[in-house]
């Protein structure tokens, strides 16, 4: 084989290898693939593209064939290997191999489900969006920073208040301490008196009860005496009232006729309209009518 033939064979082999590597790296397929075609709707397929692997229980069973927009969602069309029969309970979700790993479509089904899938549309499960999670984490961190800033501000305010009122607080605490010492000294000095008072309190209580009981008995006796002598009291009051009326008449007569003291002995005249029923009135009601003045 001459040099030109070897060079041509080398170039041909290089082109073949370059095409194979290009198809692998660029995910280009030259022939129509066989197998079942299924599809699922997702709200967000960021990180998913054509030739993205489709795994079930961690085993690759197909690839993503096409992605297009349907309504406001992303329709992902997948090509499943011909020897795989998906059960009816199959559902899809987008997962990743870590924080910076590539995304893939994960299919799962209920254990023991052998009923074949009807149709080609399978339900999807939305997984946590890492970007949204990071955004929420950033928001939480920002809120925590603001919270710490507020706590620092409040702490500074409290420190300033303590600095301003340190002397009054110290004086107040000293006053409380002095008061406690004074109270302790008083209790110590009067401990004997307090002990004696505590010992005498039961006897004093008994004597007080006896005093109030005897006072109640005396009051009851006085009430009985007043009740028994009510008639005598009323009669005495009646006699005093009559004597007062006689004195009033005498003083009126002397005021009008003072010359009678030089001529004759003054005489107390009976009233023109004596109260004949005064004694009966005071005996029944305890009150007298107004005294009549002789004119």
Residue 189 is assigned to a structural domain of this protein? no
Q: What is the mean pLDDT of residues 248-270?
A: 66
Question: pTM of the full predicted structure?
Answer: 0.37
User: Is residue 204 a part of any domain in this protein?
Assistant: no
pLDDT at 32: 45
Give the alpha-carbon dihedral of 286, 292, 293, 295, to 10 degrees. -170
Pairing of strands 53-56, 59-70: antiparallel
Name which of 133-137, 171-175, 242-246 the model is least confident about: 133-137
Which single residue is written with the structure tokens 């009232």?
Answer: 241
Domain span at 247:
230-285
- Asked, for residue 71, whether it belongs to a domain, the answer is yes
Average pLDDT, the chain: 78
Which is higher by pLDDT, 175 or 11? Answer: 175
> Where is the domain boundary, 128, 154, 186?
128
Question: Per-residue pLDDT tens for 16-75?
Answer: 887 766 655 554 444 445 788 999 999 888 889 999 999 999 899 999 999 999 988 999
In a domain, residue 258? The reply is yes
* pLDDT digit string, tens, across residues 228-246: 888 888 888 888 888 888 8
Higher pLDDT, 103 or 28: 103
β-partners of residue 68 are 75
Q: Flag whether 263 is in a domain.
A: yes
Q: How far is 19 from 206, CA to CA, in rounded Å?
A: 121
Residue 22 lies in a domain: no
Last residue of a domain, one of 65, 100, 128: 128
Flag whether 260 is in a domain: yes
Cα 242 from chain centroid (whole Å): 81
Residue 9 lies in a domain: no
Sheet holding 53-56, edge to edge: 36-42, 73-80, 59-70, 53-56, 103-108, 91-96, 124-125
- Percent of the chain clearing pLDDT 70 (strictly above): 76
Per the CB < 8 A criterion, the answer to whether 56 and 107 are in contact is: yes
Residues 180, 187 contacting (CB under 8 angstroms): no
How many independent structural domains does the chain possess?
2
CA distances from 186 to 27, 174, 196 (A): 98, 18, 15
- Mean pLDDT, residues 253-279 taken together: 58
Select from 71, 97, 128 the last residue of a domain: 128
């Amino acid at each position: 084989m001459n040099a030109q033939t070897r060079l041509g064979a080398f170039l041909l082999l290089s082109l073949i290898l370059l095409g194979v590597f290009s198809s692998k790296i660029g995910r280009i397929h030259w022939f129509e693939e066989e197998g079942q075609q299924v599809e699922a709707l997702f709200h967000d397929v960021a990180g998913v593209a054509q030739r993205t692997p489709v795994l079930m229980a961690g085993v690759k069973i197909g690839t993503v064939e096409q992605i297009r927009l349907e309504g406001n969602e992303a329709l992902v069309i997948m090509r499943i290997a011909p020897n795989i029969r998906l059960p009816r309970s199959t559902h899809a979700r987008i997962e990743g191999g870590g924080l910076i790993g590539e995304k893939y479509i994960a299919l799962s089904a209920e254990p023991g489900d052998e009923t074949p899938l009807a149709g080609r549309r399978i339900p999807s499960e939305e997984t946590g969006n890492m970007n949204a999670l990071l955004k929420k984490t950033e928001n939480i961190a920002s809120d925590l920073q603001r919270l710490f800033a507020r706590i620092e501000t409040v702490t500074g305010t409290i420190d300033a208040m303590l600095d301003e009122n340190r002397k009054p607080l110290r004086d107040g605490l000293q006053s409380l301490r002095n008061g406690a010492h004074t109270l302790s000294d008083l209790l110590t000095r009067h401990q004997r008196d307090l002990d004696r008072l505590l010992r005498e309190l039961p006897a004093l209580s008994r004597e007080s009860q006896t005093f109030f009981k005897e006072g109640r008995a005396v009051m009851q006796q006085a009430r009985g005496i007043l009740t028994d002598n009510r008639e005598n009291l009323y009669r005495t009051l009646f006699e005093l009232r009559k004597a007062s009326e006689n004195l009033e008449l005498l003083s009126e007569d002397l005021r009008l006729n003072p010359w009678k003291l030089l001529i004759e002995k003054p005489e107390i005249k009976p009233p023109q309209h004596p109260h004949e029923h005064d004694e009966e009135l005071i005996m029944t009601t305890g009150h007298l009518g107004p005294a009549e003045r002789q004119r």
